[in-house]
């Protein structure tokens, strides 16, 4: 019974955060230049689209404030020819919305956002380094919030062309093997020290931003 209630709570929180992220994205489009709606798409990554969000208060490292659980990780992807001034204005609008959310005593939601071009996406799909791999995982798992959905359709085709899903699955398989080895080490270690526990349970991705 408790497990069922917990699953339902996670679903409720995730749905709420998706709804809020959509409102934020639409608000950003309203306050930005018209070209932004035509030439960009807003997507959300992280825990929320995977229906794994939580609302437990936690410290936000960069601002030193308490925020309500999972971040709203919003990525804006724009066509390469979007005007630089329009991009700068969009960034300013999103920053204002970020601080607005943090200032609301009943919300305290943390908005993390990233604006990048289709050229950036193409480079990241080459899957060269850690940052690229995180970016590809976000792109593969994302949900569209607002803007030109046709841009995300293009990205999905590119994900297939670059075999991104297969590459992620290969990494997940390696991760499972590493986990099994780690579990065996922990079971054989009577009193594991702090260094071993940190190495085991804290990944680089835990401290990473969106890319």
Q: Phi and psi at residue 165, in whole multiples of 5°?
A: -60, -45
Distance set, CA 39 to CA 34, 85, 95, 202 (Å): 9, 14, 20, 38
Specify whether the CB–CB gap between 25 and 147 falls below 8 A. Answer: yes
Burial of 136 (0-12, 13-18, 19+ CB in 10 A): buried
Query: Quick one: pLDDT at residue 207?
Result: 47
Specify the 3-state DSSP secondary structure of 129. coil
The strands making up 111-117's β-sheet, listed across from edge to edge, are 111-117, 72-78, 40-45, 143-147
**DSSP codes, 21-81:** HHHHHHHHHHTS-HHHHHHEEEEEETTTTTT-----EEEETTTTEEEESS-EEEEEEE-TT
Distance set, CA 137 to CA 39, 123, 125, 186 (Å): 23, 14, 10, 29
Better-predicted residue by pLDDT, 118 or 177: 118
Global pTM exceeds 0.75 = yes
Specify the 3-state DSSP secondary structure of 11. helix
Residue 200 predicted with pLDDT over 80: no
- Give the count of beta carbons closer than 10 Å to the beta carbon of residue 173: 10
Q: What is the pLDDT of residues 13-42, one digit of tens each?
A: 999 999 999 999 999 999 999 999 999 999
Q: Averaged over 72-82, what is the pLDDT? A: 98
Better-predicted residue by pLDDT, 6 or 142: 142
Class of domain 2-164 (CATH, top level): alpha beta
Nearest CA among 147, 138, 183 for reference residue 38: 147
Show the tokens assigned to 109: 């939601």
Q: Averaged over 172-192, what is the pLDDT? A: 80
pLDDT band at residue 175 using 50, 70 and 90 as cut-offs: confident
39: left (phi over 0), alpha (psi -120 to 50) or beta: alpha
């Amino acid at each position: 019974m408790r497990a069922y209630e917990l699953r339902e709570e996670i679903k409720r929180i995730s749905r709420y955060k998706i709804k809020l992220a959509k409102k934020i994205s639409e608000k950003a489009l309203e306050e930005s230049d018209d070209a932004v709606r035509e030439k960009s798409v807003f997507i959300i990554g992280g825990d929320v689209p995977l229906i794994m969000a939580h609302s437990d208060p936690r410290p936000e490292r960069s601002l030193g404030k308490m925020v309500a659980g999972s971040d709203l990780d919003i990525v804006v992807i724009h066509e390469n020819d979007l005007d630089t001034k329009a991009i700068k204005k969009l960034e300013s609008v999103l920053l204002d919305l970020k601080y607005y959310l943090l200032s609301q005593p009943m919300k305290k939601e943390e908005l993390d956002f990233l604006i990048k071009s289709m050229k950036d996406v193409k480079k990241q799909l080459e899957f060269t380094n850690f940052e690229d791999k995180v970016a590809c995982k976000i792109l593969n798992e994302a949900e569209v919030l607002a803007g030109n959905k046709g841009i995300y359709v293009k990205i999905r085709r590119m994900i297939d062309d670059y075999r991104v899903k297969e590459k992620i699955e290969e990494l997940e398989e390696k991760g499972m093997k590493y986990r099994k080895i780690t579990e065996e080490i922990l079971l054989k270690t009577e009193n594991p020290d702090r260094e071993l526990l940190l190495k085991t349970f804290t990944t680089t991705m835990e401290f990473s931003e969106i890319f």
